[in-house]
Structure 1
Amino acid sequence: MVNKLRQKSHPIIDTARCTGCGRCVAVCCEHLLTLETSGFRKHAHLIRADRCALCRKCRAACPVSAISFPPAT
């Protein structure tokens, strides 16, 4: 059951809202987030959604609320 939850729940990053500050990258305990450059902007990028520990530290660290999680089913 936990594996199914992990597959369905992972951070969703709103790249239009993300400022590229890197706070989410710094707090990710699994080191799954990185910063990507797109044009002249940086934004957070999730590398391996299947390995997310669902700690939600990234969402708490984001100053602009660019990270969300889908509701649990």
Structure 2
Amino acid sequence: MTENRKPEIEVARCTGCGRCVAACPGRLLTLEVVAYRKHAVLVKPRECDGCLACLTACPVRAIY
């Protein structure tokens, strides 16, 4: 991820654990429920600076 790149979340792989949400310094991620399943969502992509905190916090590598 570079300065211009934003994290992409692979919904099928995301377990909804919330570690990326907790790791994001700007609180730009949240968990959403779709069809009774939680997954992470980047809610403020314009404010994301690409710090990689969410990527390194994800235990299942659902963020790239």
Residue 12 of structure 1: SS of its match in structure 2? coil
- Percentage of matched positions with identical amino acids: 53
Q: Deviations over 1:16-52 (max 9, x none)?
A: 0000000000010111000000011000000011110
TM-score of the pair, normalised by structure 1: 0.81
User: Where in structure 1 do 4 or more consecutive aligned residues deviate above 3 Å?
Assistant: none
* Aligned counterpart, 2:19: 23
User: What are the ranges of 5 or more consecutive residues in structure 2 without an aligned counterpart?
Assistant: none
How many residue pairs get matched?
62
AA matched with 1:67:
I
Greater share of residues in helix = 1
Shift of 1:54: 1.0
Trace 1:1-73 onto structure 2 (pairs within 5 A): 5-6=3-4, 9-68=5-64
TM-score of the pair, normalised by structure 2: 0.92
Shift of 1:64: 0.4
